[in-house]
Amino acid sequence: MSKAEPLSPDEEALWRSLMQVLLALPRVLDRDMVRATGLTANEYKALMHLSEAPDCQLRMAELANTTALSASRMSRLVDDLQSRGLVSKRTSESDGRGNVGALTAAGLEKLVSAWPAHLASARHHVFDHLSDLDVKRTARVLGKLATRLSHERPGGVSTERSE
């Protein structure tokens, strides 16, 4: 781990801006999605990940992981989506342990109808304010950070070698 040296003014500005975006963006995206579609941003993400999975189904633990929600939060979310007919939940056939969430036809229809609102919100809050060059550079930088963070184990120890 790096030494605890003070951040430079530019690093401090980037850090504070990044923290603000991480707090504010999920709230505004969620607000827009609920207003436009009746789905929360987390519900939309769950439906999206199910739609992209083989046979449109995932184990609950994997669905929780892909949406960055706790297992208990995902269970409540899927139970709510199930009560609205958008997903089904059943015991895993492969090992009889754990549950699998599956996208229903109604869930896919809801996801497809919500997609334009999701895109409009992302454009309005993010992409309309960036140049093409900003998007390319930001994607490269955040992709690098995401890759690095995805290889960290609890305690901050990396499973990847430094460059």
Sign of dihedral through CA atoms 88, 109, 58, 116? negative
Asked whether 49 and 60 are in contact (CB, 8 A), the reply is no
Per-residue pLDDT at 156: 52
d(CA 80, CA 2): 44
pLDDT in tens, 104-114: 999 999 999 99
d(CA 135, CA 44): 23
Do the strands 57-59 and 99-103 form a parallel or antiparallel pair, or are they unpaired? antiparallel
CA-only gyration radius of the chain, Å: 19
Bridge partners (DSSP) of residue 152 are 158
Q: Give residue 108's identity as a one-letter amino acid code.
A: L
pLDDT in tens, 7-57: 999 999 999 999 999 999 999 999 999 999 999 999 999 999 999 999 999
Asked whether 54 and 88 are in contact (CB, 8 A), the reply is no
**H/E stretch holding 48:** helix 41-52
**Alpha carbon 136 to chain centroid distance?**
20
Closest CA to 69 of 58, 83, 82: 58
pTM tops 0.85:
no
Which position has the token pair 């994607």?
A: 139
pLDDT in tens, 112-158: 999 999 999 999 999 999 999 999 999 999 999 999 998 876 555 44
All domains in the chain, ordered by first residue: 21-151 (1.10.10.10)
Tokens of 18: 């990044």
Asked whether 81 and 10 are in contact (CB, 8 A), the reply is no
